[in-house]
Chains A and B, each alone.
Chain A
Amino acid sequence: MRVYYVKIHILLEAKIFMKEKINAVLDEALPKINGADSLETLEALRIEFMGKKGKVTELMPELKNVPNEQKREMGIALNALKTQISDALEERKVALSEEAVKREIESMPEVDFSRPVNLKTGSMHPRSIIQKQVEDIFISMGFIIEDGNEVETEYNNFDAVNVPATHPARDAQDTFWLENGQVLKTQTSAAQNRILRTYGPKCKVLFPGRCFRNEALDASHENTFFQIEGVVVDENVSVSNLIYFMKEMLKGVFKKDLNVRLRPGFFPFTEPSFELDATCPFCGGRGCGTCKNSGWLELCPCGMIHPNVLREAGVDPEKYNGFAFGLGFDRLVMIRTGLSDIRYLNSGNIKVLEQFGVRM
C-alpha cells in the first residue's frame, strides 16, 4: 500500500515537476519574445527555445518519465507550449516586419509628384492624324483608300474629267504648268480616270492627295493643299443616295448628327453639281465665327459623276452612274485644330505642329 503510495507520489511528483517546467519555460519565453526588438533577436530566441537544443525541445525526452496514465495530459501540455511559443514568435515577427516596413517608408522623403516628366513622344502632322480618322470612317463604309501622283498629265488633270479645253482653270494664272507639258495636279479629281479604270465600274474609292494652285499665299490661301475625294459608282445611284451618304459620312467625321443641305454648284466633273452645306458643328446652326454667322458650313462640293468622265474611263454611262465628292481637307484640319493660318500646315514649324502629339 505504501509502496503503492510512494509510486503514486513519485509519479505525481514527476507530473508536477513536468508541469512546472513547462510553465517555467513559458513564463521565460513569452516576455522575452514579446520584448524582442529586432528580427535578429527574435531569431536567437527561436533558436533558444525551439531550436534543436532549445528549451522546449529539451523537455520532450522528459515525457517518458511521466506515468503512463498522465502521458497524454502532459503531451497535450507540451504541444500547447510549442504552439504558444511559435505563435508568439510568429506574431512578434509580423509586428517587427511591419515596424521595419514602416521605418523604411518613413525614412524615404515624399516624392514630388508635381515634378514634370519627359513624355518622349513626338508628333504626327495634324493632317496625318485627321486624315487617318476620316479614312477609317470610309474604310468602315467599305471604301478602298487610294493614292495619286502629284505631277499629272494634262489629260488626267483636265481632259479626262471633262474640263473644257478653254476652261479658265487651265490658265497659267491658276495652274502650275511644267516645262514638259505636265501639271502639278490642281485637284484630286486628276486621279479619277485611273481609279475608275482600276476599280470600276462598281466601286467605292477614297483618294486623298496634295494639290497645287498658282496662288499668292495668305492666311486662308495656299498653293499646296490637301483634298480628300471619293467616288461611288454602281447601277442606279441617285441624288437621294448621295444625300443619304453625305449625311452619314459627315456624322462620322464630326461625330455629330448634322443637317445637310444641297445647293446648286458648277463643276465640270459632275452633273448635276452641288455645294453641300452642313449645320455648323460648332454652334449647332445658331451662327458663330467659324460659319460666318450663317449657321451653315460649306463643306464639300459634290455631284453625280458626269457621263463624259465615266465614258472616258471606259465605264458605260448608260448602265452605271455614281457620285463624287471632295472635302476641302485643310479647312477641316484648321477647324479641328484651331489653327488660324493655313500657312502653318506647310511651315515645318515644330513649335506649332508638335502641340498635337499623335492624337486629336
Chain B
Amino acid sequence: MKISINWIKEWVDLDGISPEEIVERFNLSTAEIEGVEYRGANVSGVVVGKIIELSDIEGSKNHLLKVDVGDEKLQIVCGAPNARVGLVTCVARVGANVQGFKITEAKRNGISSFGMCCGADELGIGSDTTGIIELPEEYESKLGTDIKTLFPIDDVVFEIDNKSLTNRPDLWGHYGMARELACIFKRELKPIEALDLSAFDGLKKVDIKVESKGCQRYSAMTAENITVKKSPIPMAIRLCYCGMRDINLLADITNYVMLEVGQPMHAFDGDKVKEIVVKDAGADETILTLEGENHEIPEGSVVIANGERVPVAIAGVKGGMLSGITDETTSVLFESATFESSTIRKASRTIGLITDASQRYEKSLDPEMTALALGRILKVLKDIDSGVVVTSAFSDCYPFHYETKKITVTPEFISSRVGTEISSDTIVETLERLGFGVSVEGANINIVVPSWRGTKDVSMREDIVEEVARIYGYDNIQPKPFEFPSVPAVQMASHTNEYAVKHLLSTKYDMNELHSYVWNYEAFNKEHKIETASYLALKDSSNAGQSGLRSELAPTLLKFFHENKNSFDRVGIYEIGRVVAGLDENGLAIEKKKLSIVLGDTNKTEEELFFEMKAIVLDLAKNVIGVDVDLAACESFPSFIHPRAVGLLKSREASYGYVGILHPTVSKSLDKKYKVAVAEIDFGAIANARVFAVKAKQVSKFQNVLIDFTFMVPENMKYAEFLSMLSKCRSKILRGYSYVTEFKSAEMVGMKALTVQAELASFDHTLSSDEIETFRTDVIATMLKNKINLKA
C-alpha cells in the first residue's frame, strides 16, 4: 500500500522529521516500509501556458502551436489530439525536466519547437494518456507560473508491505497511518473533517434490507444535482501517487475516501439504484462488471441487489456496470458497508478478483467507520461541487456489533513482560495517542479498546504489552540474561543415532545423503514396474503436480538413482525420511521414519552388492546403534525386490526391514549395466530399539592360533546351518569361528567349498601342538557325522 506524506500532513505536523527517520521509526514500531518514492523530484521548469494559435502541419498529425507562457509566446510542435486554441495547459519550457527527460530546442517536422505541452502521465501526476492536461479556465491568470507552486507535485510516497498490515485494518487508510505516526513522534492528531449527518435526520431514509449473515453493517446516503464530472488536479495527483487511476469524480471520491479512512465505498447511479437488498447469491446468478465482463457470482457469496433483487454489485469485491456512474449521472447513492472478512475472501478468491476493497474487508474492518466515511465523502463532494444536495437521512442497517473490549493491566505486568521498567504515565500516554480509552484506578489501568482496533487485533493484556512496547521501541529494551535450573538435557537416542548413522554411511561407505519429497511418483513407478502403495492422497490438485503420499522410501531413491546413474559408474545414496505406511482405525496417517539405501554399481555382481549392503546395514545397526540384528529368511518384501536375494533384518525382539537386490524386471528397466542393492529400514523403530550393552570380554594373554578348515558342503546349505553343525564340537580352547570364503567349480556337482577359520587360545597356558591337533581331529570327526568332508 502506498502512503503519501502530503496527505498525512493534513492531520499531523511532521515538520523537522526526515523521510529516513519516518522509515526507520515506522519499521521498528509498526510495519515494514519497503520503498520510498520521491515524487515530483524529477519534474521542473513546467509552467502554466495557453494555446493562442494553432495551425496544421502538412503531412503530419502534429500541430504548430503558439503558446503564451506569460513572459513569452513559444512556438511548439505538438501532437496532442486535444490541443485547441484557448486551452490552458502545462508547458515544459526549454531546460525543463519531465520525469528525467530534458526539454531542449528541437526540430520536429522540420520546424523548431521550443518546449512541450504535457499530459498528466508524462508528468507522472495522473493516468490520462489521451492528451495534454486541460487546466480549468481560472488558471489563465497564472500563465508562466511553475505548476509545482500550484499543485502538490512534490511528495514522498512510502510503499508499505501489505502483509505486515494483515492484523491492522485501521492502517489501511491515511488517517490511521496519521494516528500511528502522531503517536510515534508524539505530535498532535487533528480530527478528520466530515459533515454532521444528524443535520439530515429529517430526510427520508434509503430502504435497506440485510438478509445475508455476511453483512455486518450497511449504511447509505443519497445526493443529487451533481454537475462536476472530473476530479480536481490535487485529488487526481493523490490518487495517482497512491497507485489509483482517476476515472470520474464520483468514482474517484469513493476511492479517495477509502484511501483516507480505510472504508471501501461504492457509488451507485442514484437513478438506477434506489433501494438496497443485501442477500446471499443463489445458483446461476451473474453480473456485468464495470469493466464490461460478465462474471458468474459464486453461490453463497454476498451480493448487493436493487429493489427488484437483481444483483448490482458483488459485496466487497466489485460493482456492476448497469448501476454504475456514467457521464450522465447527476444523483448518487453512496454505499458504506462492512462485510464479514472470510466471506469476502472466499468470494474474491473464487472469482479470482482481488480488489482494493476486498483486500481491506479481508482484514476485518471496523463497522463503526461507515458513518464517518459517509460524512467525509459528502464533505469532500460538497467542497468540490458546491451545488450538491443531500437527499436522504443517514440510512443504516447494523445487524452485527463487535463487543466493546475492556482490558485491565498494571504497570508491573507490562514492565515484567517487557523486561524493562515502563511507567504508568508512559503507558497511559501511548495508549491515549493510539486512541484507546484509558483511566487509572489505583494500581490498575483500565483500558477501552477503540472500535478500529477491536475487530480482532487487540483483546487481551498481551496485546497491550505489544502496543506499549513497540511504541516505547524494541531497540530501547536492554537484553537480559535469565537463569534456568541446570538440568542435563538428555537427548533422544533416535536423534543422536541419526547423525551417527549418516556419518557412517557417508564416510565409511562413500555414500551421498539426498533429500526428497513425500510424493509417490506414480508415473515413474509405473514406467519401471515398481509396485508401491499410497495410502493417502491430497484432497485437491496442487502446485506440486503430485497427488499421493509415498508409503515407502526406496522407490523415491530409485528415482534419484535413475536420475543420477548416467553421471557415474557407482551410485550409493541414502535418505532418512518419512512415509505414510498406512491408516489407523480412525483413518489417521501412520507415519514412519525410514532409512533407505540404494547401492548401484556397474562393476559388481548382484551377490557382491547384496553382501556389501548386508555389511553396511549390520554395521550401522550393530556398531552404531547397538542393536543385535542379522538377516533372516524374508517372507514378505516389495515386488520390486528379487525373491531369491532378500533378507529380513531382525533382532530377537523385532524385525526392522529388508536388504535385497532389485527384481530383474525393475533392474533392467532402470538400467542395463547397473546391478542394484536396496535396503529399507524402519529407522524410528531401530533407532529406539533396546540396545545391547557392551561389556568387556576377557582376552587371553597367551598366543592364539588360527586354523583354517575347508569343507565340501551342499551348495544350498546356509552358513547358519553349517555353523550350528560345527558348534556341536565343543572345546575349551575354541574362541570362535569366522567365515573366510566359499567357492564353486564345475567339477563340484551340487557342492561348494566353504572355508572357515577357528581361533584357539587358552586363558592359562600356551597351546601345545597336541591340543591343536586334537581339536582339529575332533572338528573333522564331528563334521563327518553330518557326512561333511574336508576338501581333499
Contacts and interface: CB of A to CB of B under 8 A. Distances in A.
Contacts of B416: 236, 238
B466 A271 contact: yes
Interface stretch (B22-30, B236-244, B730-738): B22-30
A316 B539 CA distance: 37
Given A179-B536, A223-B544, A264-B466, 18 more contacts: A123-B506, A123-B512, A124-B513, A128-B502, A144-B490, A150-B578, A151-B591, A178-B539, A202-B485, A212-B518, A234-B484, A240-B479, A240-B480, A272-B462, A275-B32, A348-B559, A350-B514, A358-B506
B516 A145 contact: no
Contacts of A306: 462
Nearest to A121: B507
Contact of B462 (A217, A307, A348): A307
B419 A346 contact: no
B418 A142 contact: no
A108 interface: no
B487 interface: yes
B517 A224 contact: yes
Given A123-B513, A125-B513, A240-B418, A307 B494 contact: no
B81 to A, nearest CB: 43
A122 B505 contact: yes
A162 B27 CA distance: 26
B469 interface: yes
Contacts of B474: 239, 243, 261-264, 274
Given A166-B341, A244-B480, A263-B28, A145 B492 contact: yes
Given A239-B419, A350-B567, A307 B484 contact: no
Contacts of A217: 543
> Lowest 3 CB-CB distances: which A-B pairs, in order?
A240-B419, A238-B419, A272-B466
B362 interface: yes
Interface string A291-305: 000000000000010
A290 interface: no
A239 to B, nearest CB: 5
B567 A358 contact: no
Interface string B645-666: 0000000000000000000000
A173 B349 contact: yes
A346 B516 contact: yes
B503 interface: yes
Nearest to B583: A180
Interface residues of B, number: 87
A196 interface: no
Given A122-B512, A234-B482, A265-B164, A177 B492 contact: no
Nearest to A224: B517
Interface of A: 120-125, 127-128, 132, 139, 142-147, 149-151, 153, 164, 166, 168, 171-173, 176-182, 184, 202, 204, 210, 212, 214-217, 223-224, 234, 236-241, 243-245, 247, 261-266, 271-275, 304, 306-307, 321, 345-346, 348-351, 353-354, 357-358
Nearest to B487: A142
21 contacts: A122-B572, A142-B484, A143-B489, A151-B591, A166-B341, A177-B539, A181-B587, A212-B518, A217-B543, A239-B474, A240-B480, A263-B32, A272-B463, A272-B469, A272-B470, A346-B515, A350-B514, A350-B567, A350-B571, A351-B564, A358-B503
Given A236-B416, A306-B462, A261 B537 contact: no
B511 A177 contact: no
B560 interface: yes
Contacts of B462: 271-272, 304, 306-307
Contact of B479 (A236, A244, A263): A244
B747 interface: no
A179 B538 contact: yes
Contacts of A180: 536, 583, 587-589
B424 interface: no
B198 interface: no
A124 B510 CA distance: 10
A237 B484 CA distance: 11
Given A121-B507, A238-B419, A350-B573, A168 B513 contact: no
- B506, B515, B560 — which one has the most chain A CB atoms within 10 A of its CB? B515
B729 interface: no
Contacts of A143: 489
Interface in B1-57: 27-32
A266 B166 contact: yes
A122 B480 contact: no
Contact of A177 (B456, B482, B518, B538): B538
Given A179-B536, A304-B462, A264 B31 contact: yes
B537 A124 contact: no
Contacts of B345: 166, 168, 171
Contacts of A236: 416
B783 to A, nearest CB: 40
Interface string B543-555: 1100001000000
Contact of B537 (A128, A179, A321): A179
Interface in B555-580: 559-560, 563-564, 567-568, 571-573, 578, 580
Contacts of B587: 180-181
A125 B463 contact: no
B540 interface: yes
Contacts of B568: 350
Contacts of A132: 499
Contacts of A346: 515-517
Contacts of B593: 147
B585 to A, nearest CB: 12
Contacts of B559: 348
Contacts of A307: 460, 462
Contact of A121 (B466, B485, B506, B571): B506
Interface in B431-484: 456, 460, 462-463, 465-466, 469-470, 474-475, 477-482, 484
Given A139-B491, A168-B345, A350-B568, A149 B543 contact: no
A153 B587 CA distance: 11
Contacts of B492: 144-147
A147 to B, nearest CB: 7
Given A147-B494, A166-B342, A127 B515 contact: yes
A348 B560 contact: yes
A271 B458 CA distance: 10
Contact of B491 (A144, A272, A353): A144
Nearest to B467: A272
B417 interface: yes
A358 B507 contact: yes
B539 A172 contact: yes
- B420, B465, B492, B513 — which one has the most chain A CB atoms within 10 A of its CB? B513
